Amino acid sequence: MSSQPNSAAKVTVRKLLQMKADKEKIVCLTAYDVSFAKLLDAAGVDVVLVGDSLGMVMQGLDNTLAVTMDDMVYHSRCVAKGLERALLMVDMPFMSHITPQIALQNAGRLMKESAAHIVKLEGGSEQQEVVTALTSNGIPVCAHLGLQPQRVHKLGGYRVQGREADRAERMLKEASILEQAGADVLLLECVPAALATKITEAVSIPVIGIGAGTDVDGQILVLQDILGITPGRAPKFSKDFMQGADSIQTAIQNYVDAVKARTFPQQEHIF
C-alpha cells in the first residue's frame, strides 16, 4: 500500500512539529537536481535535503569541505523547481557559519536565491549564538549533532559519535542547548540508538536520524545510497531499495513506505 500523500498541502516546520506530536514518521531524502526532486516529491517524501554531500556524490570529492555557497545555491535552486509539497532543507557548507553575521549573510542567500525553507548547520553548543541569530531573523534552523562530516579531519574519520558515557552526556546537553537557542529541527548522524532515543525524548523539536536507530521522529538517507549507486562499500545505516524494485520511482516509494511503516531501519542498520 502506497503512502503517497492524499493532498498537496505543503510540509512546513510547524507540520513537522505536529508529526512528532502525532508520532507520524517523517521521511527525508537528499536530492541535488530537479528530476530527482520531482520523483521524491511525488513519492511523498516530507523533507528534501540539498546536502553538502553533493561534494562527494555529485562532484567526486573525498569529503564535503570544498563545497561552496555558490554550489549550494545552484543545486538548491534546481531542486526547488521540482518540489510542490516537500519542505526544502539546505546545508550550510564548511566555514559558512563561523560567526552570526557571516551565517546571516549566507543563510539569507539560501532563503532568497534558492527558496530554501530551512537551513541545516553542523555543530554543538558553540553554534548557540549562530542559531539564535538566524531564528530571531526568521530563518528556520536544523541543528546537526553526532558525526559531523565537516569535521572529518578533527574527528579522525567517519566514526560513530557518543559511544562513551561522557560524550553521550555532552551530546544530550547540547541538544537541549540548541533547542533553547531556537533550533526548529535536530539531525543526529551515526549515534548509538539508545542515545538517540534519550535525545528524542528530551527535546520537543523533531529529531531526524541517519544511523541513529528507530526511535527518532524521522529518517534520512542519501539518495544515491538507497539506489545502490554509491561507489565502494555502502554505509551500515543505509539500504539499497533498488533491490527488487522495477524502477527508481518504485525504489523511492518503497523507502517512503518502509519509514512510515517503521520497517526501516532494522537491526542491521543500527549502532
Instruction: Give the residue numbers marked as catalytic.
Output: 189
Q: Which three cell numbers stand for residue 220?
A: 534520512
Q: Which three cell numbers stand for residue 137?
A: 531573523
What letter would DSSP give residue 85?
A: S
Question: How far is residue 231's CA from residue 223's CA, in Å, rounded to a whole number?
Answer: 13
Give residue for cell 539506489: 227
CA nearest 71: which of 57, 83, 86, 85? Answer: 57
In 3-state terms, the chain is what percent helix, strand and coil (to 5)?
A: 40, 15, 45
| Strand 218-221 with 207-210, pairing | parallel
With beta carbons less than 8 A apart as the criterion, state whether 259 and 27 touch: yes
Amino acid at position 71, single letter? D
Question: How far is residue 245's CA from residue 153's CA, in Å, rounded to a whole number?
Answer: 37
Question: How far is residue 91's CA from residue 6's CA, in Å, rounded to a whole number?
Answer: 29
Question: How far is residue 11's CA from residue 46's CA, in Å, rounded to a whole number?
Answer: 6
CA nearest 243: which of 219, 226, 222? Answer: 226
